[in-house]
Amino acid sequence: MELNSIINEFIKLYGGSKDDLRVFQSPGRVNMIGEHTDYNGGFVFPAALTMCTTIVVRKRNDNIIRLKATDLDIMVEADIDKLDSYRDLKWGNYQLGVAYVLQEAGYDIVGCDMLYDDTVPHGSGLSSSAAIEVATALCFATFSNEKNGIIKDVDMIEMAKLGQKAENQYCGVNCGIMDQFASAMGKKDHAIFLKCDDLSFDYAPILLNGMKIVLSNTKKKHSLGASKYNERRAECEQGYKILSAALPGKKCLGEISVEEFEANKHLIEDDVILKRIKHVIYEDDRVLKSVEALKNGDVKAFGSYMNASGDSLRYDYEVTGDELDVMVEEARKIDGVIGSRMTGGGFGGCTVSIVKEDSVDRFIEQVGKNYTARTGIVPEFYVSDIGDGGKEIIDF
């Protein structure tokens, strides 16, 4: 929805005029490569999208927070003094979870009326939840600073951390830091080379001359809470416990090299655990090689690493499923596709493909047709630019 339309809907819903309204935005993300490495302290390579969560908001003079989304009929009303009591809401728990963890961190939460509009497709694996969390955190932190006369910019890395904490501890999803970090710290036309254990990062330009990033939505809803995400995380913890006994000083799987893994993999007797750890170790290596390839302008090599990542996610980490497998198979059949893989947590959601610009229309037509023929599902496709991270919109 266009911003003016969201503002008009806000006024229709809550009354008043636009004079005292504020607008905050934060994007979804696509992870170009480095999947299920973030919660293992490894490397990831996400980029912020131009699809985002937009919040139109007005401060109140009481302790009430009212939440509404443009695509939902329900309105949620919450008491600032009881923020710990909304964990089981069907909608609104992510927003109120963020308010709660900010409150626990010392931020002074103020009452407000809020209207959310999301252009990140929900359940797509493009981190609609992180977009909501970071935009909400930025909004409440900004208002807290203003209330207390603090003249400084909001620390966006802290907003990412608090967004992750809300999802982990309030909503019960053990996500890593990547999604919130990318939403908070994205930079136009760049991806973020991020080391997840210490949050050291660098920006790397994505110069896909004559090529486009195409996101293919399987329309198989991606739900981390309902998927085997938490199970995979537990499996990685078991594997790390075994390897760390032989590799003292390694704080996480992300610190273990391919060579160290190969020398000690015999210690992991469970074949399933071994496959999970193999994926994480080799995926970290693929991220490092991918960043180097892109710095050298070798997009073809990057595409091969994307494909290898996708195959590992399918066969070693086993987080794809029929719909994602079909989408990748059909994408790789198209001339002009440099690389294609699932992105996000898996078990539905989206794939990411690098496609030559003159092949994009054919890609969308043929992949869509063949995917529907094989699955019975009509997919969606997005050709998205790489955008900036969370921010307040000043001029509107």
Residue by residue, pLDDT tens for the chain (396 residues) are 999 999 999 999 999 999 999 999 999 999 999 999 988 999 999 999 999 999 999 999 999 999 999 999 999 999 999 999 999 999 999 999 999 999 999 999 999 999 999 999 887 778 999 999 999 999 999 999 999 999 989 999 999 999 999 999 999 887 889 999 999 999 998 999 999 889 999 998 888 889 999 999 999 876 654 568 889 999 999 999 999 999 999 999 999 999 999 999 999 999 999 999 999 999 999 999 999 998 888 899 999 999 999 999 999 999 999 999 999 999 999 999 999 999 988 888 899 999 999 999 999 999 999 999 999 999 999 998 899 999 999 998
- For residue 119, what is the domain's CATH number? 3.30.230.10
108 part of a folded domain: yes
CA angle 128, 129, 132 (to 5 degrees): 90
The answer as to whether 70 is a domain residue is: yes
How high is the pLDDT of residue 265?
98
- Is 86 a member of any domain? yes
Residue 363 covered by a domain: no
Q: Among all residues, which ones are annotated catalytic? A: 179
Residue 218: CB atoms within 10 Å:
29
- CA gap 122, 120 in Å, rounded: 6
The sign of the torsion formed by the CA atoms of 15, 16, 21, 23 equals positive
pLDDT score recorded for residue 223: 60
> 17 in a domain, yes or no?
yes
311 occurs within a structural domain? no
Contacts of the segment 15-22: beta carbons below 8 A, 24+ positions apart: 16/58, 20/58, 20/59, 21/56, 21/57, 21/58, 22/56, 22/57, 22/58, 22/59, 22/139, 22/142, 22/392
Q: State the total domains in the chain.
A: 1
Greatest CA separation for the chain: 67
- Answer yes or no: is 61 within a domain: yes
Q: Which residues constitute the domain of residue 194? A: 3-205+387-393
pLDDT at residue 215 in the model: 96
Report pLDDT for 225: 46
Is the pTM value of this prediction over 0.85? yes
Residue 58 in contact with residue 112, Cβ under 8 Å? yes
Euclidean distance between CA atoms 48 and 188, whole angstroms? 8
Tokens 């991806």 identify what position?
191
Place of tokens 């991270």: 389
Residue 304 domain flag: no
